[in-house]
Amino acid sequence: MRPWPGTPYPLGATYDGVGTNFAVFSEVAERVELCLFDDDGTETRYRLDEVDGFVHHGYLLNIGPGQRYGYRVHGPYDPARGLRCNPNKLLIDPYAKAVSHGVKWDESLFSYKFEQPEERNDDDSAGCVPYSLVVNPFFDWGNDRPPNRPYNETVVYEAHVKGMTVKHPDVPESLRGTYAGLAHPVVVDHLRDLGVTAVELLPVHQFVTDHGLAQKGLTNYWGYNTIGYFAPHDAYAAMPGEGGQVQEFKSMVKALHEAGIEVILDVVYNHTAEGNHLGPTLSMRGIDNEAYYRLVEGEPEYYMDYTGTGNSLNVRNPHTLQLIMDSLRYWVTEMHVDGFRFDLASALAREFYDVDRLSAFFDLVQQDPIVSQVKLIAEPWDVGPGGYQVGNFPPLWTEWNGQYRDTVRDFWRGEPATLGEFASRITGSSDLYQDDGRRPFASINFVTAHDGFTLRDLVSYNEKHNEANGEDSRDGADDNRSWNCGVEGETDDAEVLELRLRQQRNMLATMLLSQGVPMILHGDEFGRTQQGNNNVYCQDSELAWIDWDLAADNADLLRFTAGLTAFRAQHPVFRRRRFFQGRPVGKGDKLGDIAWFTPAGAKMTEQNWDDGFGKAVVVFLNGDAIPDLDQRGMKVTDESFLLAFNAHYEDIDATLPGDGYGRVWTVVADTATGEIEPAEREPILGGGEFTLPARSLIVLQRMES
């Protein structure tokens, strides 16, 4: 059988119901062979003689879903010039929509084995490298529609596909740790009851456990080691048969959409699993090394590394940019995902040595009619010079707000001189986002994420305890801004345990009542622990998985968290679409949209804000002064609230503001007791006194103006 010419686009393997078109880009290739594999591993090779615009292509009749394939690229091998073609290495298609298995580590995969050109002829990595798979593109989406949840109504839940369900007792054992497990009704109901509107999944692009971890018996659990930008990770699939992961992923998205929950993917377009110059040749390195990767100028044998992983994708090359954009569009149009969180997004902006916020990648996203319409979230830093870019991304983008995380942690652990910045962070970080025309929801507010302590560990450990990772605890962040409440680690001390629970409630309540988009780390709603490990990237074990027994043990914390998300959803004053002005914003408004008070009921002064020991503040949110319109063009109004924060270790005798801010108030949330909208609370008169408990947040609602 000889391939028909086929077409150079689309790239990858495209099944049309009769046969499959294969197309792969390589500017340096002298010849490309398409390799098909039978079930027993027998290999048949076909030359792709048709080349258009450096795309090698061909069409084979009667080749359909489930067919295993790969490429062998003939061309120059000269690492000193950045050239690493080697036809003895089977290569994964960069556009493969599914792969068959993980990498089986063997010395044949590594570039350093071939130090001289004549040594290239005694190697074959077939069987070690995953097979690319032709997939069935057809799926019954039924009436599936994107939820299109507005940002200001969004509550994000960061989750790991396996860790979320592998220990869930009510998910069938065969589905635990899979896409189907995440779509199981008991899990979906938990998310819906919690008030989650979007799940942000840690990487599900096909990834590799790197060789060093495999030698230690560990696993790349988080998945930030991509080798396939179109392929759902095969190990998360419960469905039998090669390629079933695509259908299963789509079914998961469809089930979550039916519950009104969006799906956001954590994506890693900054580097690949091929690592540095000593890493394995799995795909792009052997196809066109200098096109796909940033090489060191003057020393192209080596790779630029803005990610700390060994290499960086070459986003200056149009074909690499095309790969990224084609991948993003594929996940939106074919897999129906609702957005992306870009890992180390600053690395994508590096056209030269410095971060350029107007780089080609961001220009392409801006003008793309598909990608520009979904949620785009940046992790706004990388490990290179000038890589910390919080607040500097273009207008379409939202950002993980690392300054919010650090400030909220510092405030609640009692650090001095945090009051002014704390006020800025909980009101949407206008200092970061307002100047370039963005809104408060540009700030993704989080206190904990996969990278670092869980919320329970944040209040239980002063130091990281990463011994299980086998690196003598050298890995993981040292600046955790945590406080163990007096005892390091687990304890039976009732007072310490009560304080830790209160601190968890404080940070959850602060985050869920701040302006911006809140993000909850999976399991924080009921006190998940990693036993002080703040870097479980390699721990595919009970250390990192969710223990669902805690949902019953810490049911009060779960109810408190769900109560807060429901409270937030009911009251638009906590999720405004525009920044506060600090002055009257409408006709008849005399109070302004926001006002700040000392615990004594007096308006805050510059001296109060600059007080290095200030640990308490009261903020008034005016529900009559929301400058937003609803979908019908009607003015949005709400009740008015006071939020009273006390990070001091002692109770404070506080006074409610008078002067027309409200005649009668009642407590509707209290982190000291864990109550949300308690059935009975004595009303407090405006100008009246009340006790603001140590280390607590009290929310009061105005009953009479």
Q: Indicate which residues carry an active-site annotation.
A: 343, 379
Residues 403 and 445: beta-carbon distance below 8 Å: no
Task: Give the count of beta carbons closer than 10 Å to the beta carbon of residue 587.
Answer: 5
DSSP state of 181: H
- How far is residue 79's CA from residue 596's CA, in Å, rounded to a whole number? 63
Residues 349 and 394: beta-carbon distance below 8 Å: no
CA 401 to chain centre: 12
Q: Any alpha helices (H) in 540-696, and if so which ranges?
A: 550-553, 555-570, 606-610
Residues 474 and 529: beta-carbon distance below 8 Å: no
Residues 689 and 655: beta-carbon distance below 8 Å: yes
Residues 250 and 232: beta-carbon distance below 8 Å: no
DSSP string for 316-347: TSHHHHHHHHHHHHHHHHTT---EEEETTGGG
- How far is residue 158's CA from residue 184's CA, in Å, rounded to a whole number? 17
Using only C-alpha atoms, the chain has a radius of gyration, in whole angstroms, of: 27
Residues 231 and 206: beta-carbon distance below 8 Å: yes
Burial pattern 495-505, b for ≥16 Cβ within 10 A else e, equals ebeebbbbbbb
Residues 195 and 157: beta-carbon distance below 8 Å: no
Task: Give the count of beta carbons closer than 10 Å to the beta carbon of residue 212.
Answer: 12
Quick one: which of 339, 378, 375 has its CA closest to 152? Answer: 375
- How far is residue 479's CA from residue 401's CA, in Å, rounded to a whole number? 16
Structure tokens at 240: 């039998």
- How far is residue 278's CA from residue 275's CA, in Å, rounded to a whole number? 7
Q: Are strands 443-445 and 398-400 parallel, antiparallel or unpaired?
A: parallel
3-class secondary structure, 371: helix
Residues 110 and 25: beta-carbon distance below 8 Å: no
Length of the chain: 705
- How far is residue 480's CA from residue 465's CA, in Å, rounded to a whole number? 12
DSSP state of 65: T
DSSP string for 511-527: HHTSSSEEEEETTGGGT
Task: Give the count of beta carbons closer than 10 Å to the beta carbon of residue 170.
Answer: 12
3-class secondary structure, 105: coil
Residues 502 and 671: beta-carbon distance below 8 Å: yes
3-class secondary structure, 536: helix
Residues in a beta bridge with 295: 303
Residue in the structure block whose two tokens are 């065969």: 174
Quick one: which of 74, 45, 54 has its CA closest to 8? Answer: 54
Structure tokens at 263: 């799906």
Quick one: which of 598, 648, 597 has its CA closest to 415? Answer: 648
Residues in a beta bridge with 653: 691
- How far is residue 699's CA from residue 705's CA, in Å, rounded to a whole number? 16
DSSP state of 91: B
